[in-house]
Each structure stands twice: as structure tokens, then as C-alpha cells.
Amino acid sequence: VTSPRARHPWAWGWADRFPDDTQRDTLATMVGALLGVEALPRLALPTAADRKLPPSRLSVAALPAALQGFVRGDDDARAAHTYGRGYLDLVRGLRGDYAHAPDLVATPRDESEVEATLAWARAAGVAVFPYGGGTSVVAGFEAIARPEHHGTLTLSLRAMRRVLSVDPVDRVAHIEAGATGPELEAGLGEYTLRHFPQSFEFSTLGGWIATRAGGHFATLYTHIDDRVQAVRVLSPAGVWQTARVPASGAGPDPCRWILGSEGTLGVITSAWVRVLPRPRWRLSASVRFDAMAEAVEAARAIAQAGLHPANCRVLDPLEALLHRVSAADGGAVLLLGFESADHDPTAAMDRALRLATTAGGTCPGGVLRRFDAEGVREAASAQWREAFFEAPYLQSALVSLGVLVDTFETAVPWSRFEALHADVVGSVTEALQRVCGGGRVSCRFTHVYPDGPAPYYTFLGPATVGQELDQWAAVKSAASEALARHGATITHHHAVGRTHRPWYDRERPDLFAAALAATRKVVDPTGMLNPGVLTD
């Protein structure tokens, strides 16, 4: 009997993928050179014995018998469901600090068990935190209750992960919310959802919907929103299931109401999603530019030409280097990709390349063409994509070497991008200098729209052990204030959670906040679901 592959207790991904000491030393030398630091510390990794959890306030033995079969209160389960995988989470995990561990973890196997959990928690005055894959980077499910709550329970959807049906006529699949990317793709047969966030391997359909995740497509179907036909949600007040229609103009959309609800309006138990035949043609090209501004201009021209590339990512010189893109030689890079199950998209690629070369780009490697009569199955093959899925492992390893490393993302109209970019890079560089003595900032576009790009920034600097959380807060605040100054959104796809709440409150209309709070009162009269997230 082989035991299932274990996830790392605090770092990103599989435990067996965390680098060993020799690999960490090599990384320390490389990144130390990039940051101009002589030696990065190789911090000691915590063991289970180093974990500090407060005692649980609730006991499984005191629960109704019907709940005891799927609720746990042991420290392993509590610690494993305490944190997401943002920088704050990684640092606290590395310190063994589990101050916000939930008292109980429920993993219901069907809707009746979800209902029973909600009913018990409501009666017992316990706060409930819906949980999918635990990959939030914004402290989206951290079990912080209000004083009147008698305890906290994290409700994991991971035991509800079946693909229930695939309808080839409508091309819609009905999938339970706890399915991760690989699990649902495996159940879709000849179809695919083709939603590949960087967290694809561990994040879940329910989590994607609750956070309005951004996926594979750089244009057109950028967020999961565009792939969801209908949702089924269990709230403390009852069921919220939306109509299964391709489109509707009947008032505000109840399905959209749930998208981005971040566990505050109910537990998403399943959804009907639009699936596609797997692409058979895939074309990709890497275009080099002397200056980032030229690559931005090319991306704008392509986004506004109605070509809808699957990939249209600008990488600044540092991003190109970090992602090991072949054309990385000090210039900026535009990665282009077109795919189709139905026809050869060569004409669209040719047109996009003409627009890119008009903006000053060169494409020395030409177009890489792949045709697979059966349809492409794998999520990643190109070099940049492998580096893309590898990057989170790198981030965790860097945190264990005392590096302050995080990402943030936004969206802004094209006309404001240049000023925003200059301010963001300037403000974050200044903050890194002030709190870390130096550091680097890089930028790429994850998605592009006819009216503007979604820029994604990575920053890194040498942290001071013990002060990382304050240093991070200073840099994060500098970044978020720069976004706010230019009217850029606090998040294009990472969601709000607890981390972005101050800036989200400033971004949304006050009346909308009041309307959202009123909705919460209807579906969750006692305020037990994810308190403190989205509204008070």
C-alpha cells in the first residue's frame, strides 16, 4: 500500500518537491548575487514538534453523532487548514506559528453533511470558513471569529470532488466544488475546462468561483466567470441555485452574485461549467523588444485587433530572465500563443506577429507549431510554462532563505499604464530600499483587454529574520497605495481576503458595500460565514 503524496505542511506544493539543503545553498548563491547580498541565511525548517497551536475550544466528542464521521479536531488537521500560501502564510508556517488554527475541520462528503454542519454551527454560535484547496494568497479563509463566536470551524470541500456529468450537446459539465484542476480535467474525457491558474494543481473549482480566479486565457475568457454557466450554493438560510441558461437579461445575475463572494454568501457545492474540446492546433512565438514600452504597444495593438490570442504576455527584462525565456538578453519579451480545436490559427498568429514587428519586435525563433490530432492534454509544455508552474516552489524556498518575496497584480486602462508602472516600480523600489536595504521589482502582463492590461508584479529583497512581517507590510502598503493613486484595481484575480480589505473598501462604492452587507444578513442571518471578509 502506498500512502497518498503529501502536501508540504507550510510551503507551496508537494512535500517531496521542497529543495534539499544543497539545492537551497545553490539558490542562495544565485539570488544573493541578484540582490547584491553576500550570503543569504539558510533558515532551519520547523518540524511538527515546533508547531505552536492554541488548544481547540471545541471537541469532536461533544458533536452530534452525525457530524463525528467527517469532523476532526486534531492538531495535524487544524494546522493543515490554518493558512493559505501567500508570503504572510509562508513566514508564519516557517516560524511554526499557527495562532489562527481553526478549532475544528469538517470535510463533508455530500450536501446533506454540508447542511448538517451549517445547521450545527449556527445553533452553536461557531464561525464557519469555507475552504477549497487552501491556496489563497490574501488570507481568504483565516479562522478569525468575532468575540461573540464560541469557536471556529473550517469547512473543506475536498471530499466533494466528482465530475457529475458532461453534456456533449450543450458542452457543459456539472462538477463538485472541491475538485482540483487535475481532478476535474481527468474527469472531463475528451473535453477540457482549460482554466489553468498558476495554482491549478491544488486550487479547486469552488475556490476559483469564490475568488473569481484568472486562468489560462490571456484574452476573452480571462476569469472563471466566463466559464461558469450556473452555481449551486448552500447558505445558512437555504439553497441558492441559479438558472442553467447560456445567457439571460433577467435583472441582476444571481450567478454573478456568487462569483467573488469569497465564502461569505454560502458554500458553493457544485457548478455547471462550459467545457471545450481540447485544442488540436497550438502555435506559439516569442517576440523580443529593446524596450518594455514597445512590447506594451504591441500587446495593445494585438488586444485591440480582435484576434483573441490564448497567450499575450509581456515580460519585462527581469521577468524574462526569471522565467528562463529563450529570448531573454536584456530586452523585453512578448509571448504569443494561439490555439484551436477547430481550425489552424496561423492567419491570426501571422497578423499578431505583423502587429508586434510594427511595434519594433523581432521573432528570431519563428513560430512553434504543434498539431495533435487527439487534442492536447497537458497543461504545460513550453519552457516558460514549466518555469511558471515551478515559480511557487521557488518562492517558498526563497522564504526559507530569508528573502522577502511576493507578488501583486492589478488592471488599469492603457492610457494610465505608463504612469502607474513608473509609480509602482518607484514606490516599491523605494520601500524595499528603506526596509530591506535594497531589492528588485519585475513586471509581466498576465491578461490583456482591449481597454487595458492586467500587470503582475514580483518584488524581492533581503528580509531581516524576525521582522519579515513588518517589512512585508511596508512594501505591500507602498504598492497598494501606488495602485490606488492611479485608480488601478487592488486585485485583478487574487481576490480581496483580509489582505486587500483596506484598499477594496476604498475602491468600491459605499452603497454597494451596504447592499452586500444587507445580502449577507439575508443569507447568513447570524453572520457566521467568513466574518471580516468583504464586509464587517
Grid cell listed for 24:
537551497
- Residue 15's Cβ-side half-sphere holds a number of Cα atoms within 13 Å equal to 10
Give the total residue count for the chain: 536
Which 55-74 positions form the footprint of ligand FAD (CB under 6 A)?
none
- Contacting residue, 24, 72, 85, 385, with ligand FAD by CB under 6 A: 85
Stretch binding ligand FAD (CB under 6 A), from 117-125, 136-144, 434-442, 516-524 = 136-144
Residue 175: phi and psi, rounded to 5, are -130, 140
Buried-state track 2-18, b at ≥16 Cβ within 10 A, e below 16: eeeeebbbbbbbeeebb
Q: Distance (Å, rounded) from C-alpha 451 to C-alpha 412?
A: 8
Sign of the alpha-carbon torsion through 152, 158, 164, 170: positive
- Contacting residue, 267, 325, 401, 460, with ligand FAD by CB under 6 A: 267
| DSSP-assigned letter for residue 99 | T
| Least distance (Å) between residue 200 CB and ligand FAD | 8
- Contacting residue, 137, 259, 285, 320, with ligand FAD by CB under 6 A: 137
Return the CA Rg of the chain: 23
Residue among 143 and 353 whose Cβ is closer to ligand FAD: 143
Distances (CA, A) of 94 to 41, 43, 395: 14, 9, 13
Residue among 286 and 407 whose Cβ is closer to ligand FAD: 407
Residue among 175 and 267 whose Cβ is closer to ligand FAD: 267
- Contacting residue, 495, 504, 523, 527, with ligand FAD by CB under 6 A: 495
Tell me if 222 contacts ligand FAD by CB under 6 A. Answer: no
Tell me if 270 contacts ligand FAD by CB under 6 A. Answer: no
Count residues near ligand FAD (CB under 6 A). Answer: 38
- Contacting residue, 27, 90, 173, 177, with ligand FAD by CB under 6 A: 177
- Whether residue 222 contacts residue 447, with contact meaning beta carbons closer than 8 Å, is answered with yes
Alpha helices in 275-382 (DSSP H): 292-303, 317-322, 346-358
Stretch binding ligand FAD (CB under 6 A), from 40-48, 246-254, 331-339, 489-497 = 489-497
Tell me if 131 contacts ligand FAD by CB under 6 A. Answer: yes
Q: How many CB atoms lie within 10 A of CB 30?
A: 11
Q: Distance (Å, rounded) from C-alpha 54 to C-alpha 307?
A: 55
| Least distance (Å) between residue 215 CB and ligand FAD | 6
Residue among 288 and 498 whose Cβ is closer to ligand FAD: 498
Tell me if 361 contacts ligand FAD by CB under 6 A. Answer: no
| Least distance (Å) between residue 405 CB and ligand FAD | 12
Q: How many CB atoms lie within 10 A of CB 518?
A: 10
Residue among 63 and 177 whose Cβ is closer to ligand FAD: 177
Tell me if 136 contacts ligand FAD by CB under 6 A. Answer: yes
| Least distance (Å) between residue 142 CB and ligand FAD | 9
Q: Distance (Å, rounded) from C-alpha 360 to C-alpha 291?
A: 9
| Least distance (Å) between residue 424 CB and ligand FAD | 19
Residue among 67 and 213 whose Cβ is closer to ligand FAD: 213
Q: Distance (Å, rounded) from C-alpha 38 to C-alpha 481?
A: 32
Residue among 221 and 289 whose Cβ is closer to ligand FAD: 221
Looking at the chain, the number of H-run helices and the number of E-run strands are 16, 18
Q: Distance (Å, rounded) from C-alpha 72 to C-alpha 87?
A: 27
Sign of the alpha-carbon torsion through 403, 408, 414, 416: negative
| Least distance (Å) between residue 345 CB and ligand FAD | 23
Residue 443, H or E segment: strand 440-449
The residue of the chain with the least Cβ separation from ligand FAD equals 207
Per-residue x/- mask for ligand FAD, residues 192 to 221, rule CB under 6 A? -----xxx---xx-xxx-xx-xx-------
Q: Distance (Å, rounded) from C-alpha 191 to C-alpha 175?
A: 13
Q: Distance (Å, rounded) from C-alpha 287 to C-alpha 335?
A: 6
Residue among 462 and 497 whose Cβ is closer to ligand FAD: 497
Residue among 402 and 497 whose Cβ is closer to ligand FAD: 497
Strands 452-462 and 440-449: antiparallel
Residue among 140 and 236 whose Cβ is closer to ligand FAD: 140
Which 406-465 positions form the footprint of ligand FAD (CB under 6 A)?
none
| Least distance (Å) between residue 294 CB and ligand FAD | 26
Tell me if 398 contacts ligand FAD by CB under 6 A. Answer: no
Tell me if 392 contacts ligand FAD by CB under 6 A. Answer: yes
- 37 Cα distance to chain centroid: 30
Grid cell listed for 425:
516600480
Question: Which residues of the shown chain bind ligand FAD in the complex (CB under 6 A)?
Answer: 12, 84-85, 129-137, 140-141, 157, 177, 197-199, 203-204, 206-208, 210-211, 213-214, 262-263, 267-268, 392, 493-495, 530, 533
